[in-house]
Amino acid sequence: MQLKDHRGLEVSTRNTRSLERFEKALDLTTSYFVDPLAEINAAIADDPDCAIAHCLRAGLAVMSSERGALPLIDESVAVIEAPATGANDRERRHAAAARAWAQGDFARGKQLYDAIVVDFPRDQLAVQIAHVGDFFLGQSTMLRDRMAQVLPHWDASVPGYGYLLGMQAFGLEETALYERAEDTGRRALELNPRDPWAVHAVAHVMEMQGRLRDGIDWLSSRQADWSIDNGLAYHNWWHLALHHLDLAEYDRVLELYDTRIRPVQTPVALEMLDASAMLWRLTLRGVDVGARWQPLAEAWAPIANEGFYAFNDVHATMALVGSQQWSRVEDVLSSMERAAGESGTNATMTREVGLPLARGIAAFGRGRYAEAVEHITPARAHANRFGGSHAQRDIVHLTLLESAMRAGNAPLARALASERTDVKRTSPFNWRMLGRALEMQGLAQDAAKARETADLRAAAQQPRREKVAA
């Protein structure tokens, strides 16, 4: 008898236990809970030739964004493509997509996953990998449009439907459809309160709209659903810290960093990204982060010169600059220069955004602020090309603005600060930056008004403090 998965798609395995383990692992993968790899390995132990389990194993490696995960892809692709496995066409297409990604052709790999989604819109695994691929490559419209493609084929009776709504909410947010994004994210959570990606999507909406207190209350009130045994928890804690950062509540930000964002010195790139980004934001604001840079830099060191994914390289550079390890900084810049000269998706990402930004960060760390402006300015207009979300890529604009301030370039500083207050008028930080820029231009009265606005914006966001469990 031909077995099918929970969404009605045929699989090649004849082992029902292995298939059930795959379903459990898929749910853990999409929800980011516990350790899906252990469940995948159990599925493979039940049936070493279970092609769909190998598709998921390879997909997890794709979504890790690390070169060190590539052997998992190679191993699983070899099993899927072996004639004895008897993999069906859909499973073999997964293998081809993962292989292209492992070879460094991220764009081609994602196109192959895209095609699977079009032909098999209920392939939840392909949908998620393509969604994450859109994120890694900064393709915001596809984060939105992919869900428009597949959702007509789903409804609430299909297992996993709520997760797709969470993905749709994130895509809507990344394309500035904030009201629809929040409504969709909340609807996803009505179906499944323990969907951290949907929680995350609504948190993004509140971040982009400058609804600081709403964001703090949103994440805090749902903490029990997203913060326990969840692989996305560190990132949602990062979002919570962003709100406190805008309110200049730096002690609270450092507490969240120490206890939630970076409580353990793990070598996982996705976790180190948020740690680097938060410490760099604090550093830009002149906050003393103590000795926190050093252990983070040491955690980055083994993969800092991989030249595999520019987004990772830039965040490794932040940590190495923050810890003043200049010889390692130069090593990373050299590896990025080599990567920029190669072929493949990352070469383009590195040339267009990653390398200029890393050079700008290094120049900033050395106090060469005008040089930092020179490096970063050309890259900022197309920073989306090296991946991440709008909230994450704000680090580009923040670094450029602070560089302009410290370089004494008052007209540029005012222009950049004015951009921020126009887009996010409720942000106290943005108004403080505008006040600094106006002060630089000798416009004391206007600067005072900007600082007054900052105080009013901050006061409007007080004082409903969240309660965080010990």
For residue 352, count other CB atoms closer than 10 A to its CB.
18
- Contact of 59 with 73, CB cutoff 8 Å: no
CB 124 within 8 A of CB 150: no
**Res 188: pLDDT:** 98
- Gap between the Cα atoms of 252 and 465, Å rounded: 11
Give the angle subtended at the CA of 18 by the CAs of 157 and 85, to the nearest 5°.
Answer: 115
User: Is 0.85 surpassed by the pTM of this model?
Assistant: yes
Domain residue spans in the chain? 408-460
Structure tokens that stand for 283 in this block: 């550093």
pLDDT averages per 10-residue partition of the chain, 470 residues? 95 98 98 94 97 98 95 97 97 98 96 98 98 96 97 97 98 98 98 97 98 97 95 97 97 98 95 98 98 98 93 98 98 97 95 98 98 97 95 98 98 98 97 98 98 96 56
pLDDT for res 467: 46
What integer pLDDT is reported at residue 464 of this predicted model? 53
**Phi, psi at 427, each rounded to 5°:** -80, 115
**469 burial level (CB within 10 Å; 0-12, 13-18, 19+):** exposed
Structural contact between residues 169 and 201, judged by C-beta atoms closer than 8 angstroms: yes
